[in-house]
Structure 1
Amino acid sequence: MDLRQLKYFVGVVDAGSFTKAASQLNVAQSALSLHVRQMEEGFGTQLLVRERTGVTLTAAGTKLMRHARIILQQVCLAEEELTSKVKSPSGEVTIGIPSGAARVMVTELLALAKEQLPKVSLKIVEGMSGLIEEWMGSGRFNLAVLYKTVETPGSASSTVLAREEFCLVVPPNQIPLEDTVSLRDLHAFPLAVPMRVNNVRRSVADVVAQHGCTLDVKFEVDSLSTIVNMVMDGKAYSILTPSAVQREASLGQVRVVRIVNPTITRSVVLAVNPRDERSVEVSAVRALVPKVVQQLADTGKWPAIIPEAEPSAISQ
């Protein structure tokens, strides 16, 4: 017995005859007769009494008819629910976002999600990039914003959102007074930076080592807000991306000085948990994030480069 047989059986009973049912269902009468006969053989009992004027239910047929209507109704409800879910996604989606990116994108992301995905409950988990990367690896999130160096090969589940340059974050009224600073001159500034496991720290350290330079790391702090406060108070400098100090820089509480010769860049990517690739609600949020980043870049709220015609995956 399958759903098609149940549908045909109900159709015959409702029509009152095989002839009428065949016309209404657009199925050959012989096919309908064959399916009902197969059902009777499968159950080992007669379901319909065939007469010249039509068909009537046997006791067994009456019982099956009751169950068949319930089954077909439930199938119909399931189809409607799933179809509706595709048109209007609903459910809970958890996304991990590093503190720097979170400072510029969370408010906009939540506002746009509320507007376009009202039935989706969006949960934001903020943390230092190393922790977000670790938690994503353990499957804690549906989606995560991660940082990757240009040389890091990506995966089919990683979408490039933007590219950022690192800069020297300078206390107000402190040197250097220029708009740029050479990589080889960074050793002159006492730094407060994230711990070594942090992606920001690794990205900078790799480039510095490649060019035979050194850094004067005075403080290792795994808290973006603490690092920014130390710079504001004149207790240290730091190496971060402009997005991490966008608000403070706009208020004149810190200055952003580009690092050059060479520049240090990273990619901001959106990763999806492989188990959620086919999730309707996760896919909906996944499509929303690049729109938010583009909007922030267009309005100058996120000083980053948005890749044009970028492949969906990061490539080496």
Structure 2
Amino acid sequence: MDLRQLRYFVGVVEAGSFTKAAAQLNVAQSALSLHLRRMEEGFGTQLLVRDRTGVTLTSAGTKLMHHARIILRQVSLAEVELTSKIKSPSGEVTIGIPSGAARVMVTELLASAKERLPKVSLKIVEGMSGLIEEWMNAGRLNLAVLYRTVESPGAGKVLATEELCLVVPPGQPPFGNTIPLADLHLYPLAVPMRVNNVRRSVADVIAQHGCALDVRFEMDSLTAIISMVMDGKAYSILTPSAIQREVSLDQVRAVRIVEPTVQRSVVLATNPRDERSIEVIAVHALICGVVQLLARDGAWPTTLPEAELTVPDDRHSRVA
């Protein structure tokens, strides 16, 4: 028995004859008869009594008719619900975003979600990158913005590439616009804990070039790190996105690290169990569009992958 046989069975019963049902269902009368005979053979009982005036149900046929209507109704409801969800995703999606990235993308992301995905509820979990990665590995997030080395971005969608910079207190000469990597050891640093990706990215490059860092303070609080720099108590190594607000207010300065530059990839990872979730897929696409929008508008000082640079400049195209 399959759904087609059930539909044919109900069609014949409701039409009252094979001839009328064949015309209504647009199926040959011989095909209908064959399907009904196979159903009766499969159940091992007669379902219909056939005569010149049409068909009538046997007691077994009456029972099947009751179940068939329920089954077909449920199938129809499922089709409507799933089709509607594809057209208009709904549900809850939890996203982990590191503190630095959250500062530049959350406002735009929530505004775009309200416009483009009104039936999707976004839960934003903000924290230092090491914590976000732990939560993602524990399966507590549907999506996560993670940081990776440029050479090994790992699984996930590469959204952009960021450069790290030395964050210095305001009004402290003799800083220019750049500083060589080898000179970083001259400045006492307040940096994230060792599990943080910023710390790992810098440590890897430092080790490769035989340099050193003067780490005085370790803390997993972006706000506390920036406050220490603003107060002139330390320097730090962060991305421009993490301090964009303070730079615009002349509360700190960003000095580009060179010889060589220190870069990392911004990656959007999906929990493997959610890869086919309609709402997660929709939010994934939305995040990609928001990052492209912010990068092109200069709101996020970052570099997009080459494949993203040809995306049209229409606002709705960018976040669709």
TM-score class, shorter-chain normalisation, is over 0.9
Matches within 5 A, 1:108-147: 108-147=108-147
What residue in structure 2 maps to residue 68 of structure 1?
Answer: 68
What residue in structure 2 maps to residue 185 of structure 1?
Answer: 183
Shift of 1:142: 0.8
Return the TM-score normalized by structure 2: 0.93
Shift of 1:294: 1.3
Counterpart pick for 1:165 among 150, 154, 163: 163
Deviations 1:179-210 (CA, angstroms, capped at 9, x unpaired): 11111111111100011111110000110111
What residue in structure 2 maps to residue 174 of structure 1?
Answer: 172
Letter in 2 for 1:140: R
Cα distance in 1 for partners of 2:28, 2:22 equals 6
What residue in structure 2 maps to residue 218 of structure 1?
Answer: 216
Counterpart pick for 1:266 among 264, 267, 284: 264
Matches within 5 A, 1:71-110: 71-110=71-110
Cα distance in 2 for partners of 1:107, 1:174 equals 32
What residue in structure 1 maps to residue 55 of structure 2?
Answer: 55
What residue in structure 1 maps to residue 199 of structure 2?
Answer: 201
Letter in 2 for 1:141: L
Structure 1 segments unaligned to the other structure (5+ residues): 311-316
Deviations 1:150-174 (CA, angstroms, capped at 9, x unpaired): 121522xx11111110000010111
Structure 2 segments unaligned to the other structure (5+ residues): 309-320
Shift of 1:25: 1.7
Shift of 1:65: 1.5
Deviations 1:249-270 (CA, angstroms, capped at 9, x unpaired): 0000000110111100011010
What residue in structure 2 maps to residue 28 of structure 1?
Answer: 28
Per the alignment, in what secondary structure is the counterpart of residue 151 of structure 1? coil
What residue in structure 2 maps to residue 314 of structure 1?
Answer: none
Cα distance in 2 for partners of 1:176, 1:170 equals 11
Pairs aligned (count): 309
CA contact (8 A) 2:18 2:33 kept: yes
Letter in 1 for 2:76: C
Cα distance in 2 for partners of 1:248, 1:90 equals 37
CA contact (8 A) 2:148 2:266 kept: yes
Letter in 1 for 2:110: L
Shift of 1:46: 2.2
Return the TM-score normalized by structure 1: 0.94
Deviates more, 1:84-93 or 1:13-22: 13-22
Identity across the alignment (%)? 80
Per the alignment, in what secondary structure is the counterpart of residue 56 of structure 1? strand
Letter in 2 for 1:68: A
Cα distance in 2 for partners of 1:129, 1:153 equals 15
Matches within 5 A, 1:283-302: 283-302=281-300
C-alpha RMSD over aligned residues: 1.4
Cα distance in 2 for partners of 1:42, 1:203 equals 66
CA contact (8 A) 2:153 2:265 kept: no
CA contact (8 A) 2:153 2:267 kept: no
Letter in 2 for 1:128: M
What residue in structure 1 maps to residue 312 of structure 2?
Answer: none
Deviations 1:9-29 (CA, angstroms, capped at 9, x unpaired): 011112211122122222222
